Structure 1
Amino acid sequence: MHNPKQRLAQLLLEKSYIEGEVTLTSGRKSDYYFDCKQTALHAEGGYLLGTLFLDLLPLDVQGVAGMTLGADPLVSAVSVLSHIQGRGLPACIVRKKAKGHGTNQFLEGMANFSDGMRVAVLEDVVTTGGSLLTACERVAAAGLEITGVYCVLDRLEGGRERLRDAGYSLTALFTRDELLRAGRGEDV
């Protein structure tokens, strides 16, 4: 059987990694773009992402959360796979803006959570950590305890430090160099 992390790296490089100058959400310029949704919405890619994240999560984690839109397929994959494995982790999605009608909430899926549940926050890519900190603030404000933050790609551009300063630990499946090495079949 193949190495799941190396296979995921191959898919990410094939579907999600684009070299060339781009402007990121943060406003910064970069020499590459990482569109994780292309891999996360691929059947095998979604399975591998869900499996690898689920393997990283401590057993005391009781649910997963993430900011829409990048984390939507990630939290869904982890939740579904956790059910198959008998772990049953619910997922919630953090809105960028409050719904504006009905319950006017920032978090969707809260009927599956109770106050004080321990959750992991998932993200596709971390650059400065700004949107991830917003997601964490909203999850904490909803009464959930954040045990850690996990991402597919840490761009190593200050996000990890910003999260640490706010009291959160970040675990990444890959940095850029690790992704490129794993995609070539090297161990990471």
Structure 2
Amino acid sequence: MTTSSAPAGLAARLAETACVTAPFKLATGSQLDSYFDEYRLASDPALLRDTATAMAALVPDSAEVLAGVELGGVPLVVALSAATGLPAVFLRRQPKRYGSRRQIEGATVDGRRAVLVDDVVRSGGQLLTMARTLRMVGAPVTDALCVLERPLGGRMMLADHRVTLHALLTEADLPAPRAGECT
């Protein structure tokens, strides 16, 4: 586990606002008793601003564009873009079926060093898929940011594909008794 990159008190505020004790079903079919609700984070303007400000310190100097992963990463990337002055793009899991038919919306990414942004990283599969999508259009991706990292192998899997994960918090950083409860 990494040491928290969050300023004092931010982990407690995030846990209080976004850690929810209620049944939650993952895409894999697994059932959780509690989870990290990125919508509660995104709907609290002060908390979203403070989280983005803290995450701005994690953005590599080489970053040229920030790429928010649908859906949890979108409000984060907007706030992080405002905090850093870097342009943002928005990544869909699949290309839009109508209208623009794009998978990548927002700023131009061709040839620009992109940093992925998401709320929670578990296995890292979604970030890896998005890194591949950006790489296919010519955007180098070597870094990803998240608010919360769960110890489920995501960091190692991303590293195997040349993507370094920068987490604001890990599960262990959440204040007791909630540590281990927020997934």
Same fold (TM over 0.5): yes
Shift in Å, 1:30 = 3.5
Shift in Å, 1:54 = 1.1
Structure 1: where are the runs of 5+ without partners?
83-87
1:92 aligns with 2:102: no
Distance 1:29 1:6, change over 3 A: farther
1:26–1:127 CA contact under 8 A, matched in 2: no
Out of 156, 163, 167, the residue aligned to residue 162 of structure 2 is 167
Task: State the distance in 2 between where 1:134 and 1:150 align.
Answer: 15
- Residue aligning to 1:85: none
Shift in Å, 1:115 = 2.1
Shift in Å, 1:20 = 5.2
Aligned Cα root-mean-square deviation (Å): 2.2
1:126 aligns with 2:121: yes
Distance 1:21 1:114, change over 3 A: closer
Distance 1:140 1:21, change over 3 A: same
Out of 108, 113, 117, the residue aligned to residue 113 of structure 1 is 108
With normalisation by structure 1, the TM-score equals 0.83
Secondary structure in 1 matching 2:175: helix
Secondary structure in 2 matching 1:115: coil
What's the CA shift string for 1:98-125, capped at 9, x where partnerless?
A: 112233211011xx32521112101100
Equivalent positions of 1:14-163 (< 5 A) are 14-19=16-21, 22-82=24-84, 88-109=85-106, 112-163=107-158
2:65–2:86 CA contact under 8 A, matched in 1: yes
What's the CA shift string for 1:5-39, capped at 9, x where partnerless?
A: 23321221112112355432333344431112211
Structure 2: where are the runs of 5+ without partners?
none
Shift in Å, 1:97 = 1.7
2:6–2:168 CA contact under 8 A, matched in 1: no
Larger relative contact order (CA 8 Å, sep ≥ 6): 2
With normalisation by structure 2, the TM-score equals 0.85
Moved over 4 A (4+): none
2:142–2:162 CA contact under 8 A, matched in 1: no
Task: State the distance in 1 between where 2:47 and 2:22 align.
Answer: 23
Secondary structure in 2 matching 1:105: coil
